[in-house]
Amino acid sequence: MAGPRGDGRLTHDLLAGDKGPQDACGVFGVWAPGEQVSKLTYFGLYALQHRGQEAAGIAVSDGSSMLVYKDLGLVSQVFDEATLATLQGHLAIGHTRYSTTGSTTWENAQPSFRTTTAGTGLALGHNGNLVNTAELFAAARAEGVLGGGQGATTDSDLLTALLAASPDVSVEQAAMDVLPRLRGAFSLVFMDENTLYAARDPQGVRPLVLGRLERGWVVTSETAALDIVGASFVREIEPGELIAIDEDGLRSQSYAAPAPKGCLFEYVYLARPDTTIAGRSVHSTRVEVGRRLAGECPVEADLVIPVPESGTPAAIGFAEASGIPYGLGLVKNSYVGRTFIQPSQTIRQLGIRLKLNPLRDVIRGKRLVVVDDSIVRGNTQRALVRMLREAGALEVHVRISSPPVKWPCFYGIDFASKAELIASGLDTEGIRASIGADSLGYVSLDGLIAASEQPRTRLCRACFDGEYPIPLPDVVGKHVLEGIERSVAGREPEHASGYLAEDALTRP
């Protein structure tokens, strides 16, 4: 079963055309005989909606057949009671997507699905990015295992094809054969008719956790999703680990030696504040970052206000450490995000006002400290500073709860290219002048790492310091598979839709 096809496009974020750091994806899996697994998955995905708003899908099995339902849109737009009632079984996986590889099309929505050589179904959900996609595609084409992917152009569909194509072996053994061939970030949930599987890359770049229900098991991207469905936290899926859950219980095996490099940006922005990563509360980390930011970048001001919602914990910490009162100066419209309806030119020009509106009585006549999580291109902050001045602010001092983002991410976050990152071409004073703030300060990388309470050696910091823990190939990029497939069809050069890693990392 498949959902009705959307129009294949979603509009850009409505923040003055400035697409900030886009979330990775959210994955959820449940094995629970006697439970309504489709509803558990629905609510699990609802808890993970912040990780991707472009598409959502659920695969479910009753032991003899598998159904997959997916479509473009938010979780609440894709599923309703009638749809969930048709998805009956004892195990399910779900996915909520932001496109970090491949275009935003119905075909690229997940879970991806293939039929194995044994004639059974295989569905998969993936959070992260593979960096050796071109190499895997070439190998798969040589092995004759491509085709039947319904026009999908993602590393996730390619991975599903590789898992499904292993002849005369179980899915579990196929995974033990295929997973060591992968390079990059991958937190996976996948399933056949009877077994739920989960796996995490050897670096553990993206989070993945295991939870226990009274009559089953849950695997998911964040601990907050366990809370929503009433599951207790058991542990994290280890880097390099594959687990399988079926009627015989849970079994685990290692397919690669662990070399932990968890994403530091999860603490800054990606994860929900009520999630715990590597034993550290995300909310507590962000509050501590704010405290350190106040010590590193002090300023005389009358009021500390956050850019909601991701700037709120750091603003609380900044106010606590600085002694400057904390206040609500911006009201967020939570219902403006991604939409199928194109805004008119007039509304588009209003930009950030669609999502944030100032409380003029609070702001007027004040020297403000405005705390935000990051600056990518700078367009949002430029519009925000202008809006606050128009609302009567005397001074606007911007404080950022992460170091300058100078390098693109190839492990599951859709940052801008290096050429588009404002911090890759300007120093702090140049950025301050560009956005029109009275002052600008970033927390140091050392301060952010200390707030996370994780060892520096166990963190991926590539977007801040350019040190990529997983080597990058010559060709890398969001649309690399689409470029390869067009090249195979003789329509354009192979590198056209990807871009060379050297260019991406060294262009001024």
Alpha-carbon distance of 463 to 407, in angstroms, equals 4
The answer to whether 476 touches 501, Cβ cutoff 8 Å, is yes
**Where would I find the beta strands (DSSP E) of 42-127?**
55-61, 66-72, 91-97, 112-115, 121-127
The radius of gyration of the chain's CA atoms, rounded to the nearest angstrom, is 23
Any known ligand binding at 62? Answer: no
- CA dihedral over 18, 51, 206, 160, signed as positive or negative: negative
The answer to whether 109 touches 78, Cβ cutoff 8 Å, is no
Q: What DSSP line would sit under 27-57, residue for residue?
A: EEEEE-TTS-HHHHHHHHHHHTGGG--SEEE
Alpha-carbon distance of 143 to 494, in angstroms, equals 20
CA-closest candidate to residue 57, choices 10, 152, 121, 125: 125
Place of tokens 């500073």: 385
Query: Which residues lie closer than 8 Å to 202 by C-beta, 6 or more apart?
Result: 239, 240, 256, 257, 258, 259
Which tokens hold the place of 234? 């058991």
Instruction: State which amino acid sits at residue 435.
Output: I
Any known ligand binding at 460? Answer: yes
Query: Which residues lie closer than 8 Å to 284 by C-beta, 6 or more apart?
Result: none
Any known ligand binding at 297? Answer: no
Half-sphere exposure (CA, 13 Å, Cβ side) for 114? 25
Q: Give exposure, 354-383, as e/b (b: 16+ Cβ within 10 Å).
A: bbbebeeebbeebbbbbbbbbbbbbbbbbb
Active site residue 297: no
- Among candidate residues 25, 123, 134, 370, the one labeled active-site is 25
The answer to whether 137 touches 481, Cβ cutoff 8 Å, is yes
Q: Report strand pairing: 395-400 vs 216-220.
A: unpaired
Q: What DSSP line would sit under 397-435, residue for residue?
A: EEEESS----S--SSS-BPPPGGG-HHHH--HHHHHHHH
The answer to whether 29 touches 21, Cβ cutoff 8 Å, is no
Q: Which residues are catalytic, by number?
A: 25
Residues comprising the binding site for [4Fe-4S] cluster? Answer: 263, 409, 460, 463
